[in-house]
Structures are given as C-alpha cells and as structure tokens.
C-alpha cells in the first residue's frame, strides 16, 4: 500500500460502495468527507480508484457471500495493479465488518483496513497504520466515540442531506440485527442537530431527511428531554430549509404531539413511513413489536384527520416464523384499509444472530411464503396505482431531483408527500435545475409514479442556483437526488423502524 494521503501533484482517488440502508448512505457520505479531508479525490471512474471502501450491511440476505465475492474481484484488481507497479487500498467498514470482525481479514487478507460501526472517525489513522505495517488493520469498538454526523461529509446530492439524530436502538425486534451492531440508542443534542442543519442550508441544501432507527424515541436519553416534536418545530424556524422528512418512526412510540408538530410546521412534509411489519397481533407479539393492529390503524386515522394530504408508506414482512394464513389475511386487511401509497414488502429469511433465526421448527414453507408475497404485492401495487391516480388533474409542487437515467427529455421530482413525478425537461423559456421547485399538472399515473405536463411555474432556490453554477462549470446533473425510504438494494428484510 502506498501513502494514505495524497500529494499536491497526484491526488489519490477513492470510490465508496454502499450496501444497505439510509444510515449507511449517511455514513458513506462521512467516509467520503474524511477521505477528502486527508487529500483524496472522488474517482471519476470507480474501477480506476486508488482506494475502494465497501460500507457493508449485515441485514441483506447472503450479505457475507456478496461481500466475499466482491472482495474476490477486488483481489484480482489489486494483483493486476501490482503487476503495473500501482496499488489498490481496500477498506471494509460498516455493519458486516462489525459483526464478522477479524473474520474479514482472515478470509480476505488482501484487505487493508477493517473498521466497524463505532469508529469511522479513526479512518485516517487506520489507513496510516496499514500503510506502515503492510498488514490488515482491524479495529472494532464496542461503543460509539464520535457521533458520525460530527464528521466531515462529502454529499452525493447537492440539495438534499441525511442528518442523523440518533444512533442505535433499544428495541429487540426478533428479526433485526441492528441493536447488536449499532448498540443502544443515543440521541444527538438538539443544538448539534440544528447547527448541522444550519450549516447545510448555508451550503445550499434545501431538504433534509432526519435519520434514526426509531425517531419517536429521540431525546429520551437527553438532559432536558427535548423530544422529537420539539426538534421538528425547531427545524421549522431554520430560514431557507424548505423540506424536512424523517425515517423511521415506530408505531409504539408515536405520540400525538408529533402529528401536531407535523401539521403545524410548514416545512415538515406530509409523509409518514410507518413500518407495519405484520397486521396480525399474534405475529406482532412473536416479532416483539409492542403495538397491535388497533393502535396502528388508530394512528393512521388520526394522521388522516389531522393531515388530509399525508401519504403513508410502510414495510411488511411476509412469512415470519409461525405466520398462518389467518395471520396473513390480517395483514392484507390492514393493507386494504390503509391503502398505502407505497409498501416495501419482504419475504422473511433468517438472519444469523437474531432470535427469529432460532425458530427453525416454525419456519413457513418457502413456496407458501412466495405465494403470500405475490398476493400481497398485487394488492400493494393496486393501492399504489390508485394513490398516484388521485394526483391526476392536480397541480403539484415538485422539488426537482434531476434528469431520467434513460431519457434526458424527462426529469423527475418529488411532491411534498414524496410521490415520484416525472415532467418534461427544462426549456430555455422555463429553466430549472436540481433543487429548484417546479409546479406542474399531473396528467397520468402508474404504479409508483405519476407523469406531469411541463412546469407551469418555477421557484429558483439556493440549491438550484448552485446546480446551475456547477452546470456552467461542466457538471452533469444526475438522477441520484431522490431520497428513498427503503434502500432499493434491500428487497428481503427491512433495516429500520
Ligand atoms: S426493526 Fe427497528 S425498532 Fe426493531 S430492533 Fe430493528 S432497528 Fe430497532
């Protein structure tokens, strides 16, 4: 391995590959910020990077096989580089690194650095040690030293930022490995969150998504006990912050004051991603999810009464150990009653280290799980289509995210309720850039998105003007500016909430 820092003449380059959830995306932005702070620059071509950092997820199915498969490819690349007299630094961080520990370096000794979920801030030191020792350096801490949000960040999207308000989780959901890997819940002081958000707004960010495994228990560990509703209201006073979103709330801890704060704070968007997991009380009990169907539906009813335009999205697991046909029908009944705008559905599969993985004698036949999953997907798609149909004929204000990946004539944006809406590309007469606000009339709908006519009015924002300046300097806008509430790579089991 060559020097971990860059020289003035030849900056070393990096590429970060993120697996899993929004928390990992947030941490990857910090990892990139740390690397930039010590002189690295983002590689234009990731395959040509001098350093590759894999930010791993332990929740995704077969996560370890995927990691070791990727590391096998990287070994080939590293060997080829060495034959050319160059090197490739390989770093493995995140949840799977925390879970597997020394195993990563034993199975893939060509890795240079392994770090866990609590010590991202040590990355420069670990790189320096690996460089000096020419051996894999493994460092895993049991507790968090520095809140990751306090670390420098290099955001992937100009107008939007992930802001972590708490880390860890005090719950014990039977299917979830997160508490074992991220530790007990720790909230970040309100002043720290506000300071970060004000700094982001000064840096042209107009939308933030607050992140926590359970945002509704935010603040219970803080002196003075500023709670989540107080935080939302405080963010309402940040000048220039146009949109605030959050994920994930927990139905058990969701208190009425949060709904009041959402309804009364104009920049808090009318969207609730409320993980259901199951509509059966029996299964919820087995999952150790301490709410029941009645409480969930009551929360939905109160949300709709107070915030009529709110969209509701969710996560659902099919085939949890012991789930019967009647349990599944209870889930379908909730899906039909709530009519979710979108639902991320997962077929249960055991995760090593979780309590549910031990319930082998209660596993549901995989064919039956697949059958239930298809029935659920059908309902979910129908409700999603209907939710987007209801937008037809309405004017929606879109925060523009960028051009389509496949059709430069089509751009995309998100309405306040987080519906994805496509619209025609900007024109010389009606120009806009990613981060601007465009009002357009929805003309048609499909499952998961709607299609609008040309922008009728445009409100320029600090983010849009910054994107315009960047475009003038040659930057190409991308479609990556869309915050999603469950990672598209996570199709088998939810991560948060
Ligand atoms: S599913 Fe969410 S609330 Fe439950 S243990 Fe995992 S992170 Fe915590």
Confidence of residue 75 (pLDDT cuts 50, 70, 90): very high
User: From CA 151, how far away is CA 34, in angstroms rounded?
Assistant: 7
| Closest atom of ligand 1 to CA, residue 494 | 1
Q: Is 422 helix (H, G, I), strand (E, B) or coil?
A: strand
**Weakest-pLDDT range from 86-90, 150-154, 343-347, 491-495:** 491-495
Residue 283 is predicted with a pLDDT of: 98
Confidence of residue 21 (pLDDT cuts 50, 70, 90): confident
Would you say 177 and 100 are in contact if contact means Cβ atoms under 8 Å apart? no
Residue 12 is predicted with a pLDDT of: 93
Q: What is the mean pLDDT of residues 1-12?
A: 58
Q: Is residue 287 within 6 Å of ligand 1 at its C-beta?
A: no
Q: What is the mean pLDDT of residues 296-321?
A: 97
Q: What is the mean pLDDT of residues 249-260?
A: 93
User: From CA 7, how far away is CA 236, in angstroms rounded?
Assistant: 43
Maximum average pLDDT range among 23-32, 140-149, 363-372? 363-372
Higher pLDDT, 99 or 13: 13
Residue 376 is predicted with a pLDDT of: 98
**Weakest-pLDDT range from 146-160, 335-349, 475-489:** 475-489
Backbone angles phi, psi at 376, to 5 degrees: -65, -45
Q: Is residue 108 within 6 Å of ligand 1 at its C-beta?
A: no
Is residue 449 over pLDDT 80?
yes
**How much distance in Å is there from the Cα of 46 to the middle of ligand 1?**
33
Tokens of 200: 């982001």
Count other C-beta atoms under 10 Å from residue 360's C-beta: 8
User: From CA 159, how far away is CA 167, in angstroms rounded?
Assistant: 24
Confidence of residue 9 (pLDDT cuts 50, 70, 90): low
Is residue 61 over pLDDT 80?
no
The model's pTM: 0.87
Is residue 3 over pLDDT 60?
no
Q: Is 487 helix (H, G, I), strand (E, B) or coil?
A: coil
**How much distance in Å is there from the Cα of 199 to the middle of ligand 1?**
30
**How much distance in Å is there from the Cα of 285 to the middle of ligand 1?**
14
Q: What is the mean pLDDT of residues 162-174?
A: 93
- Kindly give, in sequence order, each residue whose CB lies less than 8 Å from that of residue 33, ignoring residues fewer than 6 positions away: 151, 152, 153, 154
Q: What is the mean pLDDT of residues 255-281?
A: 97
Cα dihedral sign, 120-126-130-136? negative
Average pLDDT value for the chain: 90
Residue 464 is predicted with a pLDDT of: 96
Percent of the chain beyond pLDDT 90? 72
User: What DSSP letter does each residue of 295-318 carry, written as one string?
Assistant: HHHHHHHHHHHH-TT-EEEEEEEE
pLDDT tens, residue by residue, 452-491? 999 999 999 999 999 999 888 877 665 544 444 433 323 3
Tokens of 300: 């939905």
Range 114-125 burial, b when 16+ CB lie within 10 A, else e? bbbbbbbbbbee
User: From CA 196, how far away is CA 61, in angstroms rounded?
Assistant: 34
- Nearest 5°: CA angle at 483, between 479 and 486? 120
Q: What is the mean pLDDT of residues 351-355?
A: 89
Is residue 442 over pLDDT 70?
yes
Residue 482 is predicted with a pLDDT of: 42
Q: Is residue 487 within 6 Å of ligand 1 at its C-beta?
A: no
Cα dihedral sign, 270-275-19-138? positive
Would you say 37 and 43 are in contact if contact means Cβ atoms under 8 Å apart? no
Please provide the size of the chain in residues. 497
User: Measuring from atom 2 of ligand 1, which residue has the nearest CA?
Assistant: 497
Tokens of 164: 């972590």
Residue 474 is predicted with a pLDDT of: 74
Query: Residue 277 has what DSSP assignment?
Result: B
Tokens of 343: 């639902």
User: Measuring from atom 7 of ligand 1, which residue has the nearest CA?
Assistant: 496
Cα dihedral sign, 162-164-168-171? negative
Q: What is the mean pLDDT of residues 410-422?
A: 97
Half-sphere exposure of 251 (CA within 13 A, CB side): 27
Residue 4 is predicted with a pLDDT of: 46
- Kindly give, in sequence order, each residue whose CB lies less than 8 Å from that of residue 76, ignoring residues fewer than 6 positions away: none
Which domains, and CATH codes, for the chain?
A: 13-139 (3.40.50.12160), 154-388 (3.80.30.20), 395-472 (2.40.50.140)
Confidence of residue 146 (pLDDT cuts 50, 70, 90): confident
**How much distance in Å is there from the Cα of 226 to the middle of ligand 1?**
22
Site to substitute for ligand 1 among 170, 179, 485, most atoms within 8 A of C-beta? 179
**How much distance in Å is there from the Cα of 170 to the middle of ligand 1?**
8
Is residue 363 over pLDDT 50?
yes
Would you say 335 and 376 are in contact if contact means Cβ atoms under 8 Å apart? yes
Q: What is the CA radius of gyration of the chain?
A: 23
Q: Is 258 helix (H, G, I), strand (E, B) or coil?
A: helix
Residue 239 is predicted with a pLDDT of: 97
Nearest CA-CA partner of 415 in 446, 450, 384, 443:
450
């Amino acid at each position: 391995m060559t020097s971990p820092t860059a020289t003035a003449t030849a900056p070393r380059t990096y590429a970060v590959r993120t697996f899993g959830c929004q928390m990992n995306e947030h941490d990857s932005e910090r990892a990139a910020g740390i690397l930039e702070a010590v002189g690295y620059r983002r590689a234009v071509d990731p395959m040509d990077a001098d350093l590759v950092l894999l930010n791993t997820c332990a929740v995704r199915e077969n996560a370890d096989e995927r990691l070791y498969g990727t590391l096998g490819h990287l070994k080939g690349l590293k060997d080829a580089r060495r034959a050319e007299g160059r090197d490739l630094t390989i770093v493995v961080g995140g949840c799977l690194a925390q879970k597997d520990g020394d195993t990563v370096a034993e199975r893939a000794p060509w890795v240079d650095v392994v770090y866990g979920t609590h010590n991202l801030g040590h990355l420069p030191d670990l790189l320096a040690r690996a460089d000096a020792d020419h051996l894999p350096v493994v460092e895993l801490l049991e507790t968090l030293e520095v809140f990751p949000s306090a670390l420098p960040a290099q955001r992937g999207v100009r107008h939007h930022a992930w802001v972590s308000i708490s880390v860890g989780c005090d719950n014990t959901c039977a299917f979830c490995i997160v508490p074992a890997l991220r530790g007990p819940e720790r909230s970040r002081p309100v002043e720290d969150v506000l300071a970060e958000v004000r700094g982001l707004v000064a840096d042209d960010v107009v939308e933030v998504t607050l992140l926590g495994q359970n945002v509704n228990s935010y603040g219970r560990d803080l002196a003075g006990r500023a709670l989540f509703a107080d935080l939302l209201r405080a963010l309402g006073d940040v000048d220039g912050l146009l949109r605030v979103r959050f994920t994930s709330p927990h139905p058990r801890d969701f208190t009425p004051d949060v709904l009041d704060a959402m309804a009364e704070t104009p920049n808090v968007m009318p969207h609730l991603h409320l993980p259901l997991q199951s509509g059966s009380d029996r299964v919820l009990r087995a999952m150790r999810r301490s709410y029941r169907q009645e409480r969930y539906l009551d929360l939905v009813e109160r949300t709709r009464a107070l915030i009529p335009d709110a969209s509701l999205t969710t996560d659902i697991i099919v085939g949890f150990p012991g789930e019967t046909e009647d349990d599944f029908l209870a889930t379908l009944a909730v899906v039909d009653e709530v009519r979710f705008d979108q639902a991320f559905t997962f077929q249960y599969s055991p995760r090593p280290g979780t309590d549910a993985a031990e319930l082998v004698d209660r596993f549901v036949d995989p064919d039956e799980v697949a059958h239930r999953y298809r029935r659920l997907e059908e309902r979910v798609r129908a409700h999603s289509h209907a939710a987007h149909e209801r937008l037809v004929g309405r004017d929606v204000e879109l925060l523009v995210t960028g051009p389509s990946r496949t059709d430069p004539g089509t751009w995309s944006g998100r309405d306040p309720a987080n519906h994805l809406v496509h619209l025609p590309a900007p024109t010389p007469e009606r120009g806009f850039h990613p981060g601007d606000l465009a009002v357009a009339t929805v003309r048609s709908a499909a499952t998961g998105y709607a299609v609008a006519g040309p922008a009728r009015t445009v409100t320029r924002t600090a983010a849009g003007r910054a994107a315009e300046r960047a475009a003038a300097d040659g930057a190409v806008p991308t479609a990556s500016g869309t915050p999603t509430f469950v990672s598209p790579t996570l199709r088998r089991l939810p991560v948060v909430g």
